[in-house]
Amino acid sequence: MTAMMTSSIFLGPLVNNFSPFPHRVLESPLPSSAPSFTRIRSPKATATPVVTHHPAPFATALPKKKVLVPVGLGTEEMEAVIVVDVLRRAGADVLLASVEKGLEIEGSSGIKLVADVFVTSCISEVFDLIALPGGMPGSARLRDSLVLKQITSRHANGKRLFGAICAAPAVVLEPWGLMKRKQMTCHPAFMHKLPSFRAVKSSIQVSGELTTSRGPGTACEFAMSLVQQLFGDLHAAEVKEKLTNTGLKNEEFGSIDWSMDHIPQVLVPVANGSEEMEVVTIVDILRRANVNVLVASIEKTTQITASQNTMIVADTLIDATLDSTFDMIILPGGLTGSTRLQKSKFLKKLLKEQKSGGRICGAIGSSTAILQKQGLLMNKTVVAHPSIIGTSKIKLSDEDIGVIIDGKVITSRGLGTAIDFSLAILYKLFGHARARSVAEALVYEYPRR
């Protein structure tokens, strides 16, 4: 199967002293600087982003690479979606394959994926790469698939690239005997299942054809390492640049308390063309902290087609939320998606009410322009995707800012800052302890105070 398949996802139902904020542990061949937050005060200016087109996807003569990403009940959806997203951006033909009796897969955070095909249909295929996402019981479900074991064993014995992240190295590859004479890493909770003399604690470990990694917080580095091995250093550097500069510092202007005496109610509107990596990262991380997140489609149906051809089924339609009050509305990016969100009369109504009620709003990437058009960025310092910063009226404290909090508005640059953006929200809602706890589960470094 050479055509890129389409997958589906169902998304079911901080404070004064802002200290340095989380950054990645990056041990891949493509290092970046560690982000940090610095609380500063500076004069304000009206933010006026202008939407322009993102650069087109890679038009390259590189040979098409075929990639298999198997999923099962309890697969870690951030890892699966990030790997698929990044590899598709690199030009790979990625196939999402179910090891279950049905194509619909419920992930470890309650997000439902609909695979492209059953893994049994892949038994005669030859892949350039097989990448196993982690999560539990997802990793155990992959391990118990005899067909997947046959495919992966034949693939590994053929000296072709394969990788695993999170629990998958220890739960899947080790019992299959595919890591002999290899150094490997995995999620800290499963390190005891690896041979101690070959286990390492690096975020990325490349040993011959095998690449292993630690968790959702290292999934982007894991995917970038796979891109580098498939396509080479130059192409990997180009892909990394498209992810909007990972490892940027973050800032807060002023200090307004976001803490609440109830479970925060958060709305995440989505549209055709929304960036799935941002949607899944935001929803996954907030739900880990027990935030009640509702995903609402602004399209005529709950199913939308995301920017990298992943299908997402929202919880509800946007018009069904009009009688509800949300503590926070968060807009994911994606150029096409943000353009469509901007045209939704229902979303405009909700944002107008959010403004009049003095409640929190957030946007990532190109969706910062939506907040500006609705008058939510007056006298605010913001950050946005470089493609929509079209005038000098944007107030940025530094060109290398990943996330900015200004009062009750939080904005972020794009894909590479989605985890920082989500953890910043948790910090403002619950404080450092909760945000740090979630970051540790993600295997994402949160600095000591």
The rounded distance, in Å, linking the Cα atoms of 24 and 18 is: 18
Q: Which two tokens stand for residue 40?
A: 């500063």
Total tally of structural domains belonging to the chain: 2
Based on the domain organization, do 131 and 278 belong to the same domain? Answer: no
Based on the domain organization, do 203 and 321 belong to the same domain? Answer: no
**Of 188, 222, 242, at which residue does a domain stop?**
242
User: Tens-digit pLDDT profile for the chain (449 aa)?
Assistant: 444 444 454 544 433 333 334 433 333 333 333 334 444 333 344 443 333 333 444 445 566 899 999 999 999 999 999 999 999 999 999 999 999 999 888 889 888 878 889 999 999 999 999 999 999 999 999 999 999 999 999 999 999 999 999 999 999 999 999 999 999 999 999 999 999 889 999 999 999 999 999 999 999 999 999 999 999 999 999 998 888 666 678 889 888 999 999 999 999 999 999 999 999 999 999 999 999 999 999 999 998 889 998 888 899 999 999 999 999 999 999 999 999 999 999 999 999 999 999 999 999 999 999 999 999 998 888 888 877 766 435 555 556 788 999 999 999 988 889 999 999 999 999 999 999 999 999 999 886 54
Provide the 10 A C-beta neighbour count for residue 356.
Answer: 8
Based on the domain organization, do 357 and 406 belong to the same domain? Answer: yes
Within-domain flag for 251:
yes
Within-domain flag for 86:
yes
The rounded distance, in Å, linking the Cα atoms of 278 and 23 is: 17
Within-domain flag for 427:
yes
Q: Which residues are catalytic?
A: 79, 166, 187
Full domain range(s) for residue 263: 7-54+245-442
Fill in the DSSP letter of residue 199. B
The rounded distance, in Å, linking the Cα atoms of 152 and 142 is: 11
Which are the contacts of 81, defined by CB distance < 8 A and separation ≥ 6? 9, 113, 276, 277, 280, 310
Based on the domain organization, do 296 and 164 belong to the same domain? Answer: no
Exposed, middle or buried by CB within 10 Å (0-12, 13-18, 19+), for 300? exposed
Based on the domain organization, do 104 and 228 belong to the same domain? Answer: yes
Based on the domain organization, do 320 and 188 belong to the same domain? Answer: no
Based on the domain organization, do 323 and 366 belong to the same domain? Answer: yes
Based on the domain organization, do 289 and 377 belong to the same domain? Answer: yes
The rounded distance, in Å, linking the Cα atoms of 299 and 318 is: 8
Within-domain flag for 447:
no
Helix, strand or coil, per DSSP, at residue 324: coil
Based on the domain organization, do 323 and 208 belong to the same domain? Answer: no
Q: What is the CATH number of the domain that holds 107?
A: 3.40.50.880
Based on the domain organization, do 34 and 183 belong to the same domain? Answer: no
Based on the domain organization, do 263 and 397 belong to the same domain? Answer: yes
Within-domain flag for 59:
no
**Of 181, 211, 242, at which residue does a domain stop?**
242
**Of 242, 275, 297, at which residue does a domain stop?**
242
The rounded distance, in Å, linking the Cα atoms of 356 and 277 is: 31
Within-domain flag for 2:
no
